[in-house]
Amino acid sequence: MSKNTTISMPVIRRLPRYYRFLYDLKNNGISRISSGELSKRMRLTASQIRQDLNCFGGFGQQGAGYDVNQLYDEIGRILGIPEPTKAILVGAGNLGKAVANHINFETRGFRLVSVFDDAPGLIGQDLNGHIIRPTTELKTICEQSRPAMAILCIPKEAAPSIVDSLLACGIKGFWNFSHYDINYDHPDAIVENVHMSDSLMTLSYLMNND
Amino acid sequence: MSKNTTISMPVIRRLPRYYRFLYDLKNNGISRISSGELSKRMRLTASQIRQDLNCFGGFGQQGAGYDVNQLYDEIGRILGIPEPTKAILVGAGNLGKAVANHINFETRGFRLVSVFDDAPGLIGQDLNGHIIRPTTELKTICEQSRPAMAILCIPKEAAPSIVDSLLACGIKGFWNFSHYDINYDHPDAIVENVHMSDSLMTLSYLMNND
């Protein structure tokens, strides 16, 4: 499949959404869907859907709609799901625990290989089959298992020095819950920021301006 | 202040981000900032910033930049922060606990008034000063405290019937972690979906297509 190399972020951000909807269709035994029907479910226009999928080479046949299983597998492949990237979790407090327990990394393109936290009460505990280690062991563990991604569930103040260490250990990507603006200091790092409270404030706006 | 009533979602979604950056500036004792300098920090163009803020009536003076405290307070007011909306949490598992412990609702426009979960091991426990109640008490509690927003940290399968009950109890807005597409069944509900795993898959894409 030919790939357009200048794919815009909004298109990329819609891919996981397609993947989610296709997963549901698959699970409901639906094997073929038109862009019109997919558009109704996803509340995107049919032409938007065709445009999006064309960025990745197009998958549909004129008049026959999309093969759900094939499209699901293909988008999964584009997202890098079949060859999971090794990840570590830094910060095993409430949020880190929720992330580790709530997210099925394997079906999202990652494999959690190690968990770190410096709180004396947490070190040595088990989190989802991983022993929580102090960050003094970061370097050794990263040399052994060579993770490429770090999930940051630490306070903003602690983040800059941890990020420096992680970059030195070969970490390339960050799933960043910390509110520290990694790219301001490290423009080349691959960063996905999760600002849950931004979403909450957007809801506050919408409820106050309904 | 005059308010443009056709403000686009991308502009609305940037407001919490302005609010966050202004909070940091305030905390660092910076009382005035130009759109140029704000643009460097936020990685938006200066003209984008001026356009965004003009949607809400504009705050800057030509050549003098923005008054950080005034802009912070004004955006807070637009977001509805000073008059918090009452909220309930439904689902007090790992994710619900993390949300309750991790998010400072009061500074984000909401006040948590009650927590619900039907797991026998959770009912009666304390979560951040709130006793976890069974959902059979939803109606009574909602009649008493009249919350307008519900945070949904429940599995997708459990969500449709809970959402029906909540709408009947007068809930208008949902901070939805459940992956259930509320607006498909209830187009008028005000919904902010949090799909943490979409963000993770976007990161997977970016790391595989660097």
The interface predicted TM-score of the complex, written ipTM, equals 0.92
- Quickly name the fold that domain A85-198 has: Rossmann fold (3.40.50)
Q: What is the mean pLDDT of residues B22-40?
A: 92
- How far is A130 from chain B, CA to nearest CA, in Å? 17
Say whether A173 and B207 touch across the interface (CB within 8 A). Answer: yes
Which chain A residues are Cβ-neighbours of B41 within 8 angstroms?
Answer: 184
Give the nearest partner residue to B201 out of A109, A148, A197, using CB atoms: A109
CA distance A59 to A202: 35
pTM, rounded to two decimals:
0.88
Dist CA A105 CA A81 (whole Å) = 9
CB-based contact, B4 to chain A, within 8 Å: no
Please provide the CATH number assigned to the domain covering B9-79: 1.10.10.10
Q: Does A179 touch chain B (CB under 8 A)?
A: yes
B206 touches chain A (CB under 8 A): yes
CA distance A19 to chain B (A): 9
pLDDT in tens, B123-151: 999 999 999 999 999 999 999 999 999 99
Ordered by start, the domain boundaries in chain A are 9-79, 85-198
Measured on CA atoms in the order B154, B157, B159, B164, is the torsion positive or negative? negative
Of A140, A99, A104, A134, nearest to A120 by C-alpha is A134
Q: Which of residues 20-49 of B touch A (CB under 8 A)?
A: 20, 41, 43
> What pLDDT is stored for residue A60 in this prediction?
66
Report CA torsion sign: B85, A153, B17, A20.
negative
**At residue B60, does pLDDT exceed 60?**
yes
Task: With beta carbons under 8 A apart, name residues in chain A contacting B208.
Answer: 79-80, 83, 85, 109
pLDDT over 90, % of chain A:
75
Give the Cα separation of B12 and A58 in Å (integer).
32
Specify the length of chain B in residues.
210
> Which H helix or E strand runs over B134?
none
- Phi and psi for A132 in degrees, rounded to 5? -75, 125
* Closest alpha carbon to A98 in B93, B120, B159: B93
